[in-house]
């Protein structure tokens, strides 16, 4: 799934003279030692999304505190992951980000803000369009300009009728391409359409690492506006109230129009288009905590740990609420050191909420020193910030040392890495349980020679992440043999494997005895639907690829899907030998599991 935000580059901002291009994933941990400038990345995003209404940057935010420097914050977005790609830039001109060439050569919506100590200097967009001085950039030409260009190029200039402005632009592009013109990529002033562009961007919600987590602080209140909006906008009487508000306002403007119509006949109507914002309907929020003794105290008077747990609950709330809004607005959650004041269990809960949000198309970016957060992230999404001199640098794969990060954060291999000489690495704890049961059942029935007592299934929390790298290094150092059994994440027969699987295939260390991928998407695709119903009460369809669905074809919610995953071990036991064999047949009519286990046995030379 494409994330709403794709890349970031910052120049002359805080510790960064030039960060270089930073690739952002669904969950992006920013790691590094203290005081190297990690938080500068999050604060650059805040400046981009919440620019000062007047003036410029505080001098402390400008690199080397140079009063003559201009900071640049460049952010690239995936157009397909935005709420919409259509922008109404004026009364006669609606443009589509991709179809109308408002993207760069890689198909990204790339915007850049230039800001000094005194003022915002520019707001620009990188566009690839026809290399013609008169036409470039064609997308933001208005209706009259398009007509003039058509006339200049000797093309029919249809002033009204069925021909749209998009068709006019297409005609112009085809004409100059026929004349031999290619494409040009350049930064263009986007100030005239800045508001329209910002309207389609994801919203930023930022949690800074501050000693004051008070709900009465304005930055904190802003983080919880979504709760107010959801509560009020979904109220059964909300639409009626909105209609009443619009009607009342229109009534007042009708009185103005009545007087205007006596002064001129050139205006035939006056319509007030009122936008009702429930977020702004509540001026402030004051929370109080109740304790077991029945005493209620203000939010600010409880300890920082409890207030940080409140943040965990908030992210879990957002993840749960978004389950019903997959096509709704997207958010970028920026969090400074989420582990502060949280014990490891709460950190894992928060990490799980982050990943749930990413699965729904939101992006989570955070600075951290915690191995809980960093170890479960895909290595390609980790950003390492170092500061060899006065300038900070942001490094990513392949310019990143996994061992260095692991040592710095204290990421260690599993304590279970003892007692067996042959290790099979799998993704999660449910995979461990499922494969252990399947192997025991098939070996007990004589269908495979791989002895369960000779191997250890070990989870890495996700293949190709930091913990995987650390674990494989430890296994190699101990002289043990290891293999990998991973999901393919295919979407159909013959389709390419998912990105994680492809990355693993191209980067797996040569010390791996054998690398095996499921033919189907993941282990849920090998379950018996009747057993799923018997164990969980969930009546569903188990496809060969993709996630289970309800009988009518509608998608199963994340909570229900987790219930299925949590019981895969019991389901494997209830399916028994016959069920496992019947539901793991490949295109040749043979059991895929038997083939996998026999290949691993041969690779281990057991």
| CB neighbourhood size of 175 (10 A) | 18
Residue partners of 391: CB distance under 8 A and separation at least 6: 15, 16, 17, 63
C-alpha to C-alpha distance for 438 and 452, rounded to whole angstroms? 10
pLDDT number for residue 321: 61
DSSP state of 551: T
Is the pLDDT assigned to residue 464 strictly greater than 70?
Answer: no
DSSP one-letter string for 21-33 = PEE--SEEEEE-S
pLDDT for residue 418: 56
Using alpha carbons, list the distances in angstroms from residue 77 to 62, 84, 89, 106, 380: 25, 12, 19, 11, 18
> Which pLDDT band holds residue 196 (cuts at 50, 70, 90)?
very high
Consecutive H or E run containing 448: none
Contacts of residue 459, defined as CB under 8 A and 6 or more positions apart, other chains included, come to 414, 425, 426, 427, 428, 429, 431, 432
pLDDT at 214: 47
* β-sheet bridge partners, residue 189: 124
Residue 283 reports pLDDT greater than 70 = no
User: pLDDT value at position 298?
Assistant: 73
Per domain, the residue ranges of the chain are 422-604
| Distance, first Cα to last Cα, the chain | 40
Average pLDDT over the chain, rounded to whole? 86
pLDDT digit string, tens, across residues 98-112: 999 999 999 999 999
Percent with pLDDT over 90 in the chain:
51
Tell me: pLDDT of 326 over 60.
no
Instruction: Give whole-number Cα distances, 459 to 356, 414, 433, in Å.
Output: 19, 8, 10
Instruction: Give strand ranges (E) for 354-436.
Output: 363-367, 383-386, 393-395, 422-426
pLDDT of residue 466: 77
Tell me if 379 sits within 8 A of 464, measured CB to CB.
yes
What distance in Å separates the CA atoms of residue 34 and residue 387, rounded to the nearest whole number? 10
Mean pLDDT of 222-243: 71
Count the helices and strands in the chain (H runs, E runs): 18, 23
Highest mean pLDDT among 87-101, 453-467, 488-502, 589-603: 589-603
| DSSP for residue 280 | G
Judge if the upstream peptide bond of residue 137 is cis by omega within 30 degrees of 0. Answer: yes
Q: For residue 335, give Cα distances in angstroms to 42, 323, 465.
A: 8, 21, 21
521 pLDDT above the threshold of 80: yes
537 in Cβ contact with 523 (< 8 Å): no
**207: enclosing H helix or E strand:** strand 203-207
Mean pLDDT of 326-350: 79
Task: Work out the average pLDDT over 415-426.
Answer: 77
Q: What is the mean pLDDT of residues 49-72?
A: 95
DSSP string across 450-495: --GGG-EEEE-SSTTBHHHHHHHHHHHHTT-EEEEEE----SSTTP
Angle between helices 165-178 and 143-152 (to 10 degrees): 30
The DSSP output letter for 588 is: T
Give the Cα separation of 94 and 87 in Å (integer).
6
pLDDT for residue 379 is more than 90: no
Under DSSP, is residue 335 helix (H, G, I), strand (E, B) or coil?
A: strand
- By the 8 A CB rule, do 383 and 29 touch? yes
The DSSP element (H or E) to which 227 belongs, if any, is: helix 225-233
Residue 471: predicted pLDDT: 84
Residue range 353-378, pLDDT digits in tens: 888 888 888 899 999 888 778 777 77
- Residue 254 is predicted with a pLDDT of 79
Is 80 exceeded by the pLDDT of residue 313? no
pLDDT at position 558, please? 79
pLDDT tens figures, 523-566? 999 999 999 999 999 999 999 999 999 999 999 987 899 899 99
User: DSSP 3-state assignment of 266?
Assistant: coil
pLDDT confidence tier of residue 495, bands split at 50, 70 and 90? very high
pLDDT in tens, 202-224: 989 888 765 444 444 444 445 55
Render the burial of 450-486: b for 16+ CB within 10 Å, e for the rest. Answer: bebeebbbbbbbbbbbbbbbbbbbbbeeeebbbbbbb
**What's the confidence (pLDDT) of residue 322?**
54
The mean per-residue pLDDT over the stretch 7-11 comes to: 98
- 146-155, long-range: CB < 8 A, 24+ apart: 146/172
pLDDT for residue 183 is more than 70: yes
* Least confidently predicted of 93-102, 261-270, 585-594: 261-270
């Amino acid at each position: 799934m494409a994330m709403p935000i794709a890349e970031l580059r910052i120049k002359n901002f805080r510790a960064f003279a030039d960060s270089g291009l930073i690739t952002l994933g669904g969950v992006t941990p920013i790691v590094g030692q203290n005081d190297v400038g990690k938080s500068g990345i999050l604060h650059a995003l805040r400046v981009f999304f919440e620019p000062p209404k007047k003036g410029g940057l505080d001098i402390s935010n400008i690199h080397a505190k140079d009063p003559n420097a201009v900071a640049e914050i460049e952010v690239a977005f995936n157009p397909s992951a935005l709420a919409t790609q259509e922008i109404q830039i004026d009364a006669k001109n609606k443009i589509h980000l991709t179809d109308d060439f408002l993207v760069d050569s890689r198909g990204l919506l790339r915007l850049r803000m230039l800001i000094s100590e005194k003022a915002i200097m520019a707001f620009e967009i990188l566009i690839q369009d026809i290399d013609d001085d008169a036409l470039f950039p064609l997308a933001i030409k208005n209706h009259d300009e398009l007509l003039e260009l058509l006339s200049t190029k000797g093309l029919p200039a249809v002033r009204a009728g069925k021909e749209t402005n998009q068709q006019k632009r297409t005609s112009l592009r085809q004409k100059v391409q026929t004349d031999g013109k290619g494409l040009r990529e350049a930064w263009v002033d986007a100030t005239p359409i800045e508001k329209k562009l910002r309207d389609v961007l994801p919203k930023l919600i930022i949690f800074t690492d501050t000693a004051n987590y008070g709900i009465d602080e304005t930055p904190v209140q802003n983080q919880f506006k979504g709760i107010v909006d959801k509560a009020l906008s979904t109220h059964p009487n909300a639409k009626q109230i909105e209609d009443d508000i619009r009607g009342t306002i229109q009534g007042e403007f009708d009185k103005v129009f009545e007087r205007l119509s006596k002064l001129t006949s050139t205006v035939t109507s006056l319509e007030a288009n009122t936008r009702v914002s429930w977020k702004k309907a509540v001026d402030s929020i004051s929370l109080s905590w109740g304790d077991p003794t029945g005493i209620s105290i203000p939010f600010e008077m409880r300890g920082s740990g409890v207030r940080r747990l409140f943040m965990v609950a908030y992210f879990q709330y957002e993840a749960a609420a978004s389950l019903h809004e997959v096509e709704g607005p997207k958010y970028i959650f920026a969090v400074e050191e989420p582990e502060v004041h949280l014990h490891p269990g709460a950190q894992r809960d928060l990490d799980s909420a982050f990943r749930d949000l990413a699965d729904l198309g939101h992006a989570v970016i955070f600075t951290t020193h915690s191995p809980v957060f960093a170890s479960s992230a895909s290595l390609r999404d980790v950003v390492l910030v170092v500061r060899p001199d006065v300038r900070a640098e942001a490094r990513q794969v392949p310019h990143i040392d996994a061992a260095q990060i692991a040592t710095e954060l204290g990421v260690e291999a599993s304590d279970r890495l003892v007692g067996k000489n042959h290790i099979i690495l799998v993704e999660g704890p449910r995979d461990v349980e499922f494969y252990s049961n399947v192997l025991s059942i098939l070996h007990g029935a004589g269908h495979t020679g791989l002895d369960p007592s000779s191997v250890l299934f070990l989870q890495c929390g996700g293949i190709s992440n930091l913990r995987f790298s650390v674990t494989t290094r430890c296994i190699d150092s101990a002289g043990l043999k290891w293999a990998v059994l991973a999901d393919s994440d295919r979407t159909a027969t013959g389709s390419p494997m998912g990105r994680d699987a492809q990355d693993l295939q191209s980067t797996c260390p040569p010390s791996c005895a054998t690398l095996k991928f499921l033919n189907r998407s993941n282990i849920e695709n090998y379950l018996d639907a009747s057993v799923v119903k018997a164990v969980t009460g969930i009546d569903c369809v188990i496809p060969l690829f993709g996630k289970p669905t309800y009988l009518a074809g509608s998608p199963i919610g994340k909570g229900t899907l987790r219930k299925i995953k949590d019981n895969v071990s019991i389901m494997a036991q209830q399916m028994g030998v016959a069920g496992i064999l019947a539901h793991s047949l490949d295109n040749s009519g043979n059991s895929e599991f038997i083939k996998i286990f026999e290949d691993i046995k041969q690779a281990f030379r057991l």
